[in-house]
Amino acid sequence: MGRTFAVYLFPAALVALGWLRLEEPRGGNGADALWIVGLALVPALANTLALRVALSVPALLTAAWVALDTPSTDDRRGFFGPVLDRAGDGLLDFFDLTVPFSGVEQPHMHGVVMLAIFGFCLVLAHAAAARQPLPALLATIAGAGWPATLYPAAGVVYGAAILAAALWVLAGLRTTRPVPALVAGVALVIAAAGASTSAAVAKDGVLGWKRWDPSGSSPKAISVAYVWDANYGGIEFAETETTVLRIKGPKRGLYWRAATLDQFTADRWIESPTPLSIGPARGRLPDDPLLPDRAGNPSTWVKQRVEVVALRDTHVVAAAQPVALEAPQLGNVFRLSDGIVRAPKGLKRGQRYLAYSFAPRPEPAELARARATYPAALDRFLEIGRTRVQPFGTPGRDARVDALFDDDRYAALRPYEGLWGEARRLRAGARTPYGAVVAIETWLRSTGGFTYDESPPPSGGLPPLGHFVAQGKRGYCQQFAGAMALMLRFLGIPARVAAGFTSGKREDGGWTVTDRNAHAWVEVWFPDNGWLPFDPTPGRGTLAASYSASSTTFNAGDAAEAFGPARGGEGVGGASELGRLLELKERLAARGAASGPADGTGSGALWWVVLAVLSACACVGLAKLVRRRLRYLTRDPRRVAAAARSELVEFLADQRLVVDASSTADELRELVRLELGIDARQFARSLAEARFGPPAASAAAAVRARGELRVVLRSLRNALGRWARLRGLVAIRSLRT
């Protein structure tokens, strides 16, 4: 046993040192490595081979637990699945990031380093215990030499250290034929030193071995990067689909926005936000003057839990119109106009953050009544190239737009005269901006003869969007969204292109977003709602909003309310989208009249079902009330305080927030603040005093805790909104806690 320990110690320390050099600060996680090195030795101290092998299994599980399961960084249940996922994420991170890396910012990479140390040390310890010099020698050289190829060391000094460790192993195990093993050791040392200094293999720690492909097939994409500015030359998705994000949020499908392209140059849309501030990614984003007042009410927000799986980008992705973030892992971020947030260090695999967005879903009839009342802050969204057009409905504006094409100062706009003509035709009869918006969306998506094509034909020297509308009629989302936004601006309707991802696939209680979901759509501004999404691209995505022609629940009948009687023959008999919408409205009305009243069959059974559901909900609410009251039937102030804590924990459980049984009062307060934005400091202070303070003061503290609890619960209910409160009232999660 003593000999095994002596042979093991020096080479194991060198292996650990080599891998720890990959982290910054170097050797900053020595305590973890010390545990791992000691754990790898334990099985080798047994007397028999069978016992050593048997002990290796729990040692491996313990090493995985130490390296990748504590502290847990997500809420996935179980052990093997999450640990394997984190190990895979950490391994793939070596393909994306250069070394040395931060073990604090990349916990999964740190876990892989710890497992590498454990694996090599375990082989070394078993070989030393079995008195097998060659396996011990190979484990020493490979374990210490491999990290040198990832992050080159001082070749001579480090190589000498490896050679010394090899000689130590040979001497300690007293091999009778040390020369062959020694020659092999020297050769491997030279190879490792050469690999660590060769420019052909190593460059800034990113190595050629990452591109090895024994199968001869194309390697799977590790992380996906995007350039969101408009590009109309064609796209080609990778052969293998890659998951880039996982998002837990609303059940309805929302688009996940990364950037907005708000400036149109002579031939394309580009991203041009205004910097506002820089600081930690926590709390409210800067006030946006284009959001309605109700967007400041947290009860109107949509919450999203975002996990970065394989997205390499500086944009923080969120739904609709972001208003707040809780993303401490991102560090300091740039807060830009239009709700855009950029992380200077970029998103990294495994990062998680909370995003809160304002995502209204107005009815078509509401938008059909919305007039073109635009604040001054919208002026830049009416710019086209070097000019700015007048808002929708301004008397004489059509003649002024026509004059642009004859003015040499705006010669760059002449190729878009056909696009302007189509926009004006589609707008015919529209009494409000919404009529023009939905007509153009319908024309591009369904009725205008356009085709989705990821390899569109060349534009023949014309600007891509002008050629797309007038002649080509083939393209992908960039063409469709860019053309619609430009047509709307010509009509004096504030619009911009949004870039990001469609909702993705609904699974496991959230949304799985892949690189194939990358998309561009249009955002149009409406009073009392702010920016609303519209999607003119056929076959790429569907919005969960009845006001958009891209939605499966599109209410065309109510949308037609935005149109008045046609003039000059335009829109007659289905010759334009106006006529088609009006015909659809008439068909819907006729269908409703022809169907007649329902005969009432089955209505009695339906009422019985409704009554049963209401009764069950009432029983759930009553059971929770009785259990809550029974807890307070005590004179022990500490038990009263425990009852108050339980009441808050069960309230949070009914809102799908899990509280660990060992959480302190301060941890409970922090959870309420982070998840729901409510200050519960007074309650936490009184609760802690009642439960753990001096007995003489605990009674008064318990009374205060109950009073503060009522204040906290009142604030929580006000912040959650009516439907969330109703859902919590009938939820049975708290009955299972």
Q: What is the pLDDT of residues 430-483, one digit of tens each?
A: 889 999 999 999 999 988 889 999 889 888 889 999 999 988 899 999 999 999
Position 301 confidence tier, pLDDT thresholds 50, 70, 90? very high
Report the pLDDT value the prediction gives residue 632, as an integer from 0 to 100. Answer: 86
Residue 482: which of 520, 426, 435 has the closest Cα?
520
Q: Report the pLDDT averaged over residues 559-570.
A: 60
Identity of the residue numbered 101: F
CA separation for the pair 284, 277 (Å, rounded): 12
Report the pLDDT value the prediction gives residue 222, as an integer from 0 to 100. Answer: 56
**Joined tokens for residue 628:** 């809550």
Identity of the residue numbered 159: G
What does each C-alpha distance from 444 to 536, 562, 584, 683 come to in angstroms? 6, 19, 18, 57
Report the pLDDT value the prediction gives residue 255, as an integer from 0 to 100. Answer: 94
The residue whose two tokens read 């008999």 is: 573
What does each C-alpha distance from 159 to 14, 165, 179, 186, 415 come to in angstroms? 11, 10, 19, 9, 67
Peptide bond into 273 cis (omega under 30): no
Q: Report the pLDDT averaged over residues 587-597.
A: 52
Position 568 confidence tier, pLDDT thresholds 50, 70, 90? very low
- Residues 598-630 pLDDT 10s: 444 444 555 666 677 677 777 877 888 888 888
What angle, rounded to 10 degrees, do the helices at 603-631 and 722-730 form? 80
Position 595 confidence tier, pLDDT thresholds 50, 70, 90? very low
Cβ contact 340:523 at 8 Å = no
What angle, rounded to 10 degrees, do the helices at 417-427 and 477-490 form? 70
Report the pLDDT value the prediction gives residue 567, as an integer from 0 to 100. Answer: 43
Instruction: Identify the bridge partners of residue 358 per DSSP, sorted by sequence position.
Output: 301, 321
Q: In this predicted structure, which of 84-88, 139-143, 650-654, 709-713 has the lowest mean pLDDT? A: 84-88
Q: Report the pLDDT averaged over residues 51-57.
A: 88
* Mean of the per-residue pLDDT values of the chain: 81
Q: Report the pLDDT averaged over residues 416-422.
A: 94
**Joined tokens for residue 701:** 């503290």
The secondary element (H helix, E strand) that includes residue 202 is: strand 202-203
Q: Report the pLDDT averaged over residues 304-332.
A: 92
Q: Report the pLDDT averaged over residues 344-364.
A: 91
The residue whose two tokens read 């709390």 is: 283
What value, to the nearest 5°, has the Cα angle with vertex 334 and ends 332 and 335?
A: 120
**Joined tokens for residue 553:** 């629940």
User: What are the start-end ranges of the H helices in 523-602?
Assistant: 556-559, 577-595
Q: In this predicted structure, which of 74-88, 152-166, 553-567, 651-665 has the lowest mean pLDDT? A: 74-88
What angle, rounded to 10 degrees, do the helices at 30-41 and 49-68 form? 160
Report the pLDDT value the prediction gives residue 487, as an integer from 0 to 100. Answer: 97
Position 205 confidence tier, pLDDT thresholds 50, 70, 90? very low
Task: Output 85 or 272, whichever has higher pLDDT.
Answer: 272
The residue whose two tokens read 């425990």 is: 642
* pLDDT for 666 beyond 70: yes
